[in-house]
Chain A
Amino acid sequence: ETGVTQSPTHLIKTRGQQVTLRCSSQSGHNTVSWYQQALGQGPQFIFQYYREEENGRGNFPPRFSGLQFPNYSSELNVNALELDDSALYLCASSLEGGHTEAFFGQGTRLTVV
């Protein structure tokens, strides 16, 4: 077990709604990244947070936004949900700097209907 916990584990939302997913990072880890994994695909990098600021972003529209809190936990917010947003959303925590690997949580399965 990595120590990275995500909530909720499963979620069903209606197209057009907004959703917030949560992640608690592994103890001592100050960097959180979010990934979207569509069925049958590899994870795709959404963005990364360090010191409560976004410091890297993948090819995702602005309706995907996030927050990092002083305790390093993080939220992923998605507005105006689309059917294609249905996916497993993964959070990974790590230490900034050097050769430090990211450890993933178990993910939140989001279904948009």
Chain B
Amino acid sequence: GQQLNQSPQSMFIQEGEDVSMNCTSSSIFNTWLWYKQDPGEGPVLLIALYKAGELTSNGRLTAQFGITRKDSFLNISASIPSDVGIYFCAANPGGSARQLTFGSGTQLTVLP
């Protein structure tokens, strides 16, 4: 089946540093999304991307939908302690943000 390869699996960074994570696939997806999940909670949507090449920001977060439609990245600038959590990419082959395929997640730890 369709799979999303998300990297890195985990990251340890100092507070104030920038972070970058990405997601790739061998299949084309027409919708890419990035979620954050805290322990004991469901995923929370950070950014949704619907157009190849699209670059979208949400505060300190920036995400891009790759031109090939097979990848996406998420950047977090000037990290803070509350950025700690698991970040997931998710995608759909159509234009829907439902019936999603998820990556395996990036565990982010921010050190003071």
Contact = CB atoms under 8 A, between A and B. Distances in A.
Contacts of B6: 42
B74 interface: no
Contacts, number: 67
Contacts of A92: 42, 98
Contact of B97 (A4, A40, A56, A100): A100
A90 B40 CA distance: 11
A100 B4 CA distance: 21
Interface residues of A, number: 27
Interface of B: 1, 4, 6, 31, 33, 35, 40-45, 48, 50, 88, 90, 95, 97-105
Given A44-B102, A104-B42, A107-B42, 13 more contacts: A33-B99, A40-B104, A41-B105, A42-B4, A42-B103, A43-B43, A43-B88, A58-B99, A92-B42, A94-B97, A99-B50, A102-B98, A104-B43
